Structure 1
Amino acid sequence: MRILNICAYTWQTGGPPKIIFDHTQVVLRYGHSVTILSPISPGETPYPVPDGANLVLCQRTPVISQYFREFSGELYRYLQQHIHEFDVIHCHGLWHFGTLAPFMLDRRVAKVITIHGVLDRWTYAHNNWKKRIIDTLAQKAFLRRADLVQINNTDEREDLLRYLGYQHPNVAIIPNGVKMSDFVQLPAKGTFRQKFGLPASKKLVLFMSRLNEKKGLDLLLPGFRDYVRQHPDTVLALAGSDDGYKAATEQFIAQHNLGNSIKLVGMLTGDDKKAALADADLFTLPSYSEGFSMAVLEAMAAGTPALVSDRVGFGETIRQHEAAGLVELTPEGVRAGLERMLGDDALRQRVSQNATALLRAQYDIDIVAKQLLDEYEKVLRS
């Protein structure tokens, strides 16, 4: 198969580039070809590309892309010239130009859309007026035309039904996966603390995601403030690029004199990310909405016990397997979750072991990537 992924394939985007990267490594081993088509703006950094894959970068069109997400004349022209060179076009997300353009140009090449959690009630409510305009013009009609809609969990099936008004005839539930082998060897304990000046004597709570209100920072910050007043032997590291909430975070830290208890360490990649997970006593993501959180999967793969909301994409599975602590989406819920997890070493060890077993059984990248390939082949046969 000749597969084209369309996504903003940059470090600044968040989870989808990592998902594409890991899937592509498996797909290439099966002998298929992969091209990644990505809009990009000055100052953004492309995500790494697996050996054997092809990355095509197209500049976003100035001004227009500020109002119409990811708009790129270069991307449109590339598709005009090359769309029929592919067997499957896989679009990631909704309401951006890369998800719309293939449907404008062609009805023959098979098209797949992954929702990535954007139809969740919380996410859909934000910038709703823009979304409704695009819905009216094209998005709903094009989503109906998709040969396959990939969703990550059963909640997204309900979101899709609510959005379209009927159940799409070809939906596949395929979760995100993680490459477990990437986390077999972790940096030595203390590496992250030493590099970022975090005391070895304090317990370390790690938040690692984009600094965005959606990630629950408006709950984590006051919840941790209340916790650390009673437990000053704890420090919170906030690792992630700014996505609209860094200024509010810095203001909160200053207002409550938390400079010694909360540290902003920026976006972490490679060994720095692994070192942070190795040093953390607890990973946390009290998110309002996730399609299927790669950050949570990576924390679990590294053996770091986690405290998360049930909105991270597989909350019910986490509950069934006791694979993490689950937190209520209130500051008080966050504080109580921190009390429960950090106050019980045996509990943290148990959820860590349960999470590792769960990932090996259901979420290893080799398992889920093969599931997606099988769905591609079904589409092409039909």
Structure 2
Amino acid sequence: MKVLHVIPSISPSLGGPTQVVLNSVKALRDCGVDAEIVTTNHNCTTTFDVPLYQKTEYEQVPVWFLPYTSPALKEFIFSAPLTQWLWQNVRNYDILDNHYLFSYAPTCAGAIARWYKVPYTVRVQGQLSSWALTQSKLKKQVYSLLIERHNLNHAAAIHCASTEEAKDVRKFGIDTRTVILPLGVEKFPKFPQAKTRLRSVYGIPEQTPVILFLSRLRYNKRPDLLIKALSHIANLKGDFHLILAGDGEPNYVNYLQQLVTSLNLSNCVTFAGFVANEQKNLLLQGADLFVLPSLSENFSIAAAEAMAAGLPVIVSSEVQIAPDIITANTGLVVEGEIEPLIKAILRLLDSPTFRQVLGENGRRLAIQNYSWDSIALSLANVYEALIRDNATTLSEILTFS
């Protein structure tokens, strides 16, 4: 079985989707599936310095990079060479796994796959949530009318990371079958003395609890709400330190920095910027709790990673991994308002024992549910069933509707 994953970009700055495609392809290959990626050389404001038009090993997986040809349409990430490559090569694959909506690469791949009668799946990645559809609303309405609904309606299946995401698909008016399979998290190597090392790196007193926000600094993630909540907590319990790990648009990051200053939190807030690899591992294993009060989040790789690292988590109910957190008792789920957030943070700050219990529960949940090895095996079985168009087999593998 030969599988092609199609994604507009694998820029690290795009966060979760990049991790998902690289890790899923690596895990699929580890379990014997011949999986590859085709994408562009788009890398946020620049381009990747990589060989083009040839299969390249990138982050331990085979990737075809094609030139990104339209900086003027940065969100669309148009690539004429990618179009030509897909016409020439789609027939060489048994199934396509398309990542993203409202972007050129997966749209083009879906159309060409239909022409050659090659089945394809679509990962909506939170882009059909109510909040997401209000962003660039008119553009998405036009794109949906002309292209995206047809693309979704003719997919072999739509891959959803949660039952809530599957509901979003139905609300959007799509009847295509959905398969619900969670996303996985990387296995982080143990970082000896992580808490001591973290405090040394960031100049934090040894006994001060560290609160971690690990995500892009964007309005919908609501780091500003977290900062405002902590300004109230500072007046009640001043012993904490917040690390905001992630990058974002300069204007919004500047707003957050000014907010921190205006609330007299400069001494207890650190902007760590974009983190990866060892630095990210240090934050996950050295912090005391993780907070993500998003307006909208389809799965949240960051929250799953935090649980895998043994961190108790606090998330808003709009984070679609929330039902898992409640069921497994790995953290607190709150309404996305300042008062519930304050109470949840205070509860965890006041009880190291409770934090430890939640963290251990989270680690077990991650091992059981978010292991890339088991997810890749299930995904490979899904591909086989879709290639054979066997609905009975699909229903036996995982949640299917």
> TM-score under structure 2 normalisation?
0.89
Q: Which whole-Å CA distance do the structure 2 matches of 1:228 and 1:49 have between them?
A: 45
Q: 1:227 to 1:266 in 2, by over 3 A?
A: same
Give the drift of 1:63. Answer: 4.4
Q: Which whole-Å CA distance do the structure 1 matches of 2:5 and 2:202 have between them?
A: 36
Q: Which one is further off, 145-154 or 250-259?
A: 250-259
Q: 1:46 to 1:311 in 2, by over 3 A?
A: farther
Pairing 1:287-306 to 2, within 5 Å after superposition: 287-306=294-313
Partner of 1:59: 67
Query: Deviations along 1:161-197, whole A, 9 cap, x unmatched?
Result: 1112x532x2101011124xx2351242222222233
Q: Report the AA paired with residue 318 of structure 1.
A: I
Does residue 260 in structure 1 map to residue 261 in structure 2? no
Pairing 1:203-352 to 2, within 5 Å after superposition: 203-243=209-249, 245-352=252-359
Q: Which whole-Å CA distance do the structure 1 matches of 2:113 and 2:141 have between them?
A: 24
Q: Report the AA paired with residue 224 of structure 2.
A: D
Does residue 183 in structure 1 map to residue 188 in structure 2? yes
Aligned residue pairs, count? 376
Partner of 1:196: 202
Partner of 1:129: 138
Q: Is the 8 A contact 1:11 1:44 kept in 2?
A: no
Q: Report the AA paired with residue 198 of structure 2.
A: F
Partner of 1:16: 17
Q: 1:361 to 1:334 in 2, by over 3 A?
A: same
Consecutive aligned runs of 4 or more in structure 1 exceeding 6 Å deviation = none
Q: Report the AA paired with residue 220 of structure 1.
A: L
Query: Deviations along 1:239-280, whole A, 9 cap, x unmatched?
Result: 012146312211211222221111101111111111111221
Identity of aligned residues (%): 26
Q: Report the AA paired with residue 43 of structure 1.
A: T
Q: Report the AA paired with residue 292 of structure 1.
A: F
Q: Which whole-Å CA distance do the structure 2 matches of 1:59 and 1:328 have between them?
A: 43
Does residue 158 in structure 1 map to residue 159 in structure 2? no
Query: Deviations along 1:68-121, whole A, 9 cap, x unmatched?
Result: 522222221221222212111111121111121013323211111011111111
Q: Report the AA paired with residue 336 of structure 2.
A: L
What runs of 5+ residues in structure 1 fail to find an aligned partner?
A: none
Secondary structure at the residue paired with 1:303? Answer: coil
What runs of 5+ residues in structure 2 fail to find an aligned partner?
A: 51-56, 390-401
Q: Which whole-Å CA distance do the structure 2 matches of 1:32 and 1:322 have between them?
A: 35
> TM-score under structure 1 normalisation?
0.93
Query: Deviations along 1:44-80, whole A, 9 cap, x unmatched?
Result: 56899343x32122333234423x5222222212212
Give the drift of 1:290. Answer: 1.5
Q: Which whole-Å CA distance do the structure 2 matches of 1:44 and 1:257 have between them?
A: 39
Give the drift of 1:311. Answer: 2.5
Does residue 37 in structure 1 map to residue 38 in structure 2? yes
Partner of 1:142: 151
Q: 1:221 to 1:46 in 2, by over 3 A?
A: farther
Secondary structure at the residue paired with 1:260? Answer: helix
Q: 1:346 to 1:98 in 2, by over 3 A?
A: same
Secondary structure at the residue paired with 2:345? Answer: helix
Give the drift of 1:305. Answer: 1.5
Q: Which whole-Å CA distance do the structure 1 matches of 2:140 and 2:5 have between them?
A: 22
Q: Report the AA paired with residue 212 of structure 1.
A: R
Q: Which whole-Å CA distance do the structure 2 matches of 1:60 and 1:251 have between them?
A: 36
2:102 to 95, 100, 119: 95
Q: Report the AA paired with residue 242 of structure 2.
A: L
Give the RMSD, CA atoms, in angstroms.
Answer: 1.9
